[in-house]
Amino acid sequence: MSMGLLFPAALAALLALVVPLIIHIARKSEQLPTDFAALRWLRQKPKPRSRLRFDEWPLLLVRLALLALAALWLAQPILFGAADRSPYVAVVPGAQFDALAFKDSRLYWLAPGFPAIDTPQPAGPLPIASLIRQIDAELPPGTPLTIVTPTIIEGADADRLRLSRKVTWRITSGAMPGPQAKPAPPPLLSVRVDAEHRSAVRYVRAAALAWQPAGRAADIDTAAIDAPLPDPRRTLVWLAGGTLPDGVLRWVMDGGTVLAVSDARLPDGHPGLPVWRDDLDFPLAEALPMGKGRLLHFTRAMTPAQMPILLDADFPAQLGALLAPPTPPARVAAADYAPLPGGRSYDQPPQSLRPWLAVLIALLLLIERWMATRGSRSIAP
């Protein structure tokens, strides 16, 4: 540990130490001279040389110490390396653990504010990844860190954690309180179709109808391929072969989503990634990110012979999942999410000594007042 000053210029206040010295030197005696008539004819003798003398030196020392501490308080002293380095254990809510196994460690819930383990278990969705990064940044280097987690983690980031230290990752039984799943609104479809693919419209319309509550019409508009493109908030189903028009590509680059049939020609040099597979693990659709949007592409013709899933009762749900906006994973196996070492380390903030100095100054002030006003004392300087 080492000490420093944030404002060393404030030490100039130590010049005030001369004030108590002057007061004690200049203190007047209570004795007053009295003239006697019989002595006025006597020849005056030289007065003996007086010596410098400090009266009540204990009081003087207390006052000097009080002013010195006040000057040090103004200089804002800080202490480096005074943080607690005892083992730190963070328990993910829902994980089963034995507190006796960590009797020499600090135990906290892995939740905002990091409440003590003897407080009620936090509930609700938790940003686990952000909380782990915060602990790593706030703990001093070299402090042992243990994280107790259930087998499944809710609230994970898409990227695996990389911390500044090696973490003891302990997986136990239990389950985290997960977020309440909210049903995603069904996608709004706009179909652009040519004469050759008009038979495929029935499957798209049937899926859109299945997404709606009973008795409500499907929100879908159908037009020829030369009709104006829809609002980018809608999903464009392009049922036409050949090269995709430049207008459609620009529409995707601006943030739109297009689902094209298998004989639509994709831009050269842009391979797609399989995002939908059948029961035999063969791809049914591929995705191609473009600008701010996505270009989805069927790998087979939209006929029951080529895509038997068109007649499956689960087709609307799977098509809706394909068209839903991609979201980063939030649920992950704890065994696959153990943090890796080698991350950035952070400087620890120093500990301020001003609160302790304030207490000491108040104590010395009380002592000084008692010494200066006690009844057995003569005249206070």
- Report CA-CA distances (Å) from 284 to 295, 304, 309: 14, 13, 10
CA distance 272 to 231: 25
What residue type is 236 in one-letter code? L
| pLDDT of res. 251 | 92
CB–CB of 177/93 below 8 Å? yes
| pLDDT of res. 329 | 59
| pLDDT of res. 380 | 46
**Structure tokens, 203:** 């499957």
Q: How many CB atoms lie within 10 A of CB 363?
A: 12
Decide: helix, strand or coil at residue 21. Answer: helix
For helices 354-373 and 57-74, the axis angle rounded to 10 degrees is 160
Query: β-pairing, 189-193 with 220-224?
Result: parallel
Domain ranges for the chain: 2-27+53-81+350-373, 88-179+331-336, 189-323
Query: β-pairing, 77-80 with 2-5?
Result: antiparallel
CB–CB of 380/371 below 8 Å? no
CB–CB of 84/104 below 8 Å? no
First to last CA, the chain: 41
CA distance 208 to 185: 12
pLDDT along the chain (381 residues), means of 10: 71 74 61 59 58 68 85 81 80 88 89 91 84 89 90 79 91 76 77 94 92 79 92 92 91 93 81 84 89 91 93 91 75 86 76 86 89 67 49
| pLDDT of res. 377 | 60
Q: How many CB atoms lie within 10 A of CB 236?
A: 23
CB–CB of 358/187 below 8 Å? no
Cα pseudo-dihedral 266, 269, 272, 273, rounded to 10? 180
Kind plus residue range of the DSSP H or E element containing 201: helix 201-210
CA distance 118 to 115: 8
